[in-house]
Amino acid sequence: MKKAKNKTIRFAAGMIALIILLFLSLLPNLNRAVWAQFPTLSIPTVTSSPRGLYVRAIGDPETPLNVRSFPNSTSTRVGVFLVGQEAKAYGYYGDYVMIDYAGAPDNRGWIVLNRVEVFGGSLPMLQPPPTETPSITKTIDPTLAAQFIITAIPSRLPTFTEPPALQIPTYPSEVGGTTTGGIPIGYVIVVLAGFGLFLTLIAVLRRG
């Protein structure tokens, strides 16, 4: 009996402790309670509006469409329109359709009509747009052009220069170089020397 009574007391004490712990855990939530009145607001309902005319690019995915500033193939290209891409359409002129395109003049560009599918109705024909005026005048920069001017380099082959005229020196004839008869004086000297030697030889032979 005593053991059963002790178990009952322990069980009751445990239950009381459990109830106290639960109460303490709920106590912070009771302190956080804020009593306030939320204003009543009317939230507007968002209704979907029709998308209107739009086009989708079709064709070879490897060949995107060129977006041009005017409806002709010679106008400035302002970007590309990928296959599968969609954009709002305004109408067509000739073989081109006007679409919304950021970066084009007035954010509107032109793409070829035979590469798009039209959704939301039929495209109206637009008035002829003005002719494109080039923003930059194509002029040739003289400084840049001068870099491509090729100057001919003179040949370095040897050139022939005519020598000056040959001047042959002339010597004046010496006066007294010949005898009165026109015989060179050297011959006269040789003859006289030979005659002198002959006389000397005869004199030596006589003495001997």
Note the pLDDT tens digit of each residue in 161-195.
Answer: 777 777 777 766 555 555 556 677 777 787 788 88
**What pLDDT score was predicted for residue 156?**
67
68/65 Cα distance (integer angstroms): 9
Token pair in block for residue 83: 């296959």
Greatest pairwise CA separation for the chain in angstroms: 210
**What pLDDT score was predicted for residue 149?**
74
What would the mean pLDDT of 47-61 be, rounded to a whole number? Answer: 80
Task: Look at residue 78 and tell me whether its pLDDT is greater than 70.
Answer: yes
Domain of residue 59 covers: 54-119
**What pLDDT score was predicted for residue 152?**
66
85 found inside a domain: yes
Task: Look at residue 135 and tell me whether its pLDDT is greater than 90.
Answer: no
DSSP SS3 for 3: helix
Task: Look at residue 141 and tell me whether its pLDDT is greater than 90.
Answer: no
100/91 Cα distance (integer angstroms): 11
109 found inside a domain: yes
66 found inside a domain: yes
Name which of 72, 207, 52 is nearest 128 in CA terms: 72
Task: Look at residue 139 and tell me whether its pLDDT is greater than 70.
Answer: no
Strands (E), the chain: 54-57, 65-68, 77-81, 86-93, 96-100, 108-112, 116-119
Of the chain, the percentage scoring pLDDT greater than 90 comes to 33
62 found inside a domain: yes
108 found inside a domain: yes
Mean pLDDT of the chain: 76
What pLDDT digit, counting tens, does each position of 20-34 carry? 777 676 665 555 544
150 found inside a domain: no
43 found inside a domain: no
Please state the domain count of the chain.
1
139 found inside a domain: no
What would the mean pLDDT of 143-156 be, rounded to a whole number? Answer: 70
What would the mean pLDDT of 36-55 be, rounded to a whole number? Answer: 58
**CATH number of the domain enclosing 81:** 2.30.30.40
**What pLDDT score was predicted for residue 207?**
75
Give CA torsion, residues 79, 85, 86, 90, to 10 deg. 30
**What pLDDT score was predicted for residue 138?**
56
What would the mean pLDDT of 143-152 be, rounded to a whole number? Answer: 72
